[in-house]
Structure 1
Amino acid sequence: MINAASSIYQVAIYLPGGYSWYAIGSLEAPFRVANEILGEEKFRCVYVIPDDCSESARLPHSILWSDAVVCDLLAVVCESVPSETISPLEKKKLQHFYQQGTTILASYAGVFWLADSGLLNHQRAAVHWSLMDTFSERYESVELSDHLYERHNRLITTAGFAATLDCLVDFLEETEGKELAYAVSDQLCMDRIRPAQERQRLPFKQFGGDIQPRLTMAVELMENNLEEPLSTDEIAEFVHISRRQLERLFKRYLDTMPARYYLQLRLKRARQLLLTTHTSIVQIGLLCGFSSGPHFSSAYKAYYHITPRDERSKMLQTK
Structure 2
Amino acid sequence: MDCGDETLPEREPLVPPGAAYFPVPSPGATRKYAFVLVPGFTLLAFSSAVEPLRIANQLSQHPLYQWRVLSETGAPVASSSGIAVAADGPLEALDRDTRLFVCAGNLPAKAAAPAIVAAVARHSRFGGTVGGICTGAVALARAGLLAGRRFTLHWENQPGFAEAFPDLTPTESRFEIDGRMMTCGGGAASTDMILSVIAQDHGAEFAAMVSEMCLRTVMAGVEPVQRSSLAVLMRSRNPALIAVVKLMTDHLEDTLSLEELAAAAGCSRRHIERLFKTVLGETPGEFYRGLRLDRGRNLLSTTDLTLLEVATACGFGSVSHFSKCFKARFGTVPTKFSHRNRKRPFVR
TM-score of the pair, normalised by structure 1: 0.61
CA contact (8 A) 1:75 1:107 kept: yes
Q: Quick check: 1:68 aligned with 2:93? A: yes
CA 1:179–1:162 in 2, change beyond 3 Å: closer, same or farther? same
Q: Distance in 1 between matches of 2:232 and 2:56?
A: 40
Counterpart of 2:93 in structure 1: which amino acid? A
Query: Residue 236 of structure 2 aligns with which residue?
Result: 221
Q: Give the drift of 1:252.
A: 3.9
Q: Distance in 1 between matches of 2:138 and 2:222?
A: 20
Q: Give the drift of 1:87.
A: 3.9
CA contact (8 A) 2:195 2:211 kept: yes
Q: Distance in 2 between matches of 1:203 and 1:74?
A: 32
Query: Residue 80 of structure 1 aligns with which residue?
Result: 106
SS in 1 for 2:188: helix
Q: Quick check: 1:135 aligned with 2:161? A: yes
Query: Residue 107 of structure 1 aligns with which residue?
Result: 133
CA 1:48–1:203 in 2, change beyond 3 Å: closer, same or farther? farther
Task: Pick from 20, 33, 44 the counterpart of residue 55 of structure 2.
Answer: 33
Task: Pick from 24, 49, 52 the counterpart of residue 46 of structure 2.
Answer: 24
Q: Give the drift of 1:165.
A: 0.3
CA contact (8 A) 2:102 2:111 kept: no
Query: Residue 94 of structure 1 aligns with which residue?
Result: 120
Q: Give the drift of 1:105.
A: 1.9
**Which structure's CA Rg is the greater one?**
2
CA 1:41–1:246 in 2, change beyond 3 Å: closer, same or farther? closer
CA contact (8 A) 1:148 1:196 kept: no
CA 1:127–1:82 in 2, change beyond 3 Å: closer, same or farther? closer
CA 1:99–1:137 in 2, change beyond 3 Å: closer, same or farther? same
Query: Residue 251 of structure 1 aligns with which residue?
Result: 250
Q: Give the drift of 1:54.
A: 6.2
Q: Give the drift of 1:202.
A: 4.5
Counterpart of 2:194 in structure 1: which amino acid? L
TM-score of the pair, normalised by structure 2: 0.56
* Per-residue Cα deviation, 1:201-251 (whole angstroms, up to 9, x for no partner): 2597xxxxxxxxxx888x5322xxxxxxx6x4xx24xx8xxx7x5552253
Counterpart of 1:138 in structure 2: which amino acid? A
CA 1:159–1:85 in 2, change beyond 3 Å: closer, same or farther? closer
CA 1:45–1:139 in 2, change beyond 3 Å: closer, same or farther? same
CA contact (8 A) 1:125 1:157 kept: yes
Q: Distance in 1 between matches of 2:168 and 2:136?
A: 15
Q: Distance in 1 between matches of 2:107 and 2:164?
A: 11
Q: Quick check: 1:160 aligned with 2:182? A: no
Question: Please, which moves more after superposition, 157-166 or 116-125?
Answer: 116-125
Q: Distance in 2 between matches of 1:252 and 1:194?
A: 31
SS in 2 for 1:195: coil
SS in 1 for 2:103: strand
Query: Residue 48 of structure 1 aligns with which residue?
Result: 70
Q: Which has the higher contact order (CA 8 A, sep 6+)?
A: 2
CA 1:150–1:86 in 2, change beyond 3 Å: closer, same or farther? same
Aligned-residue sequence identity (percent) comes to 18
Structure 1 runs of 4+ off > 3 angstroms? 52-61, 82-85, 250-253
Q: Quick check: 1:116 aligned with 2:133? A: no
Count of residues in Structure 1 that have an aligned counterpart in Structure 2: 222
Q: Give the drift of 1:27.
A: 1.4
Q: Give the drift of 1:119.
A: 0.6
Query: Residue 298 of structure 1 aligns with which residue?
Result: none
CA 1:54–1:32 in 2, change beyond 3 Å: closer, same or farther? closer
CA contact (8 A) 2:39 2:77 kept: no
* Per-residue Cα deviation, 1:97-150 (whole angstroms, up to 9, x for no partner): 112222222111111111111111233321212111111111111112111111
CA contact (8 A) 1:147 1:196 kept: no
SS in 1 for 2:133: strand
SS in 1 for 2:209: helix
Query: Residue 172 of structure 1 aligns with which residue?
Result: 198
Q: Give the drift of 1:64.
A: 0.5
Counterpart of 2:50 in structure 1: which amino acid? E
* Per-residue Cα deviation, 1:10-46 (whole angstroms, up to 9, x for no partner): 1101112223543321111011000011111121110
The gaps in structure 1 that reach 5 residues or longer are 1-5, 205-214, 223-229, 259-319
SS in 1 for 2:73: coil
The gaps in structure 2 that reach 5 residues or longer are 1-27, 253-263, 266-348
SS in 1 for 2:156: helix
SS in 2 for 1:161: coil
CA 1:143–1:199 in 2, change beyond 3 Å: closer, same or farther? same
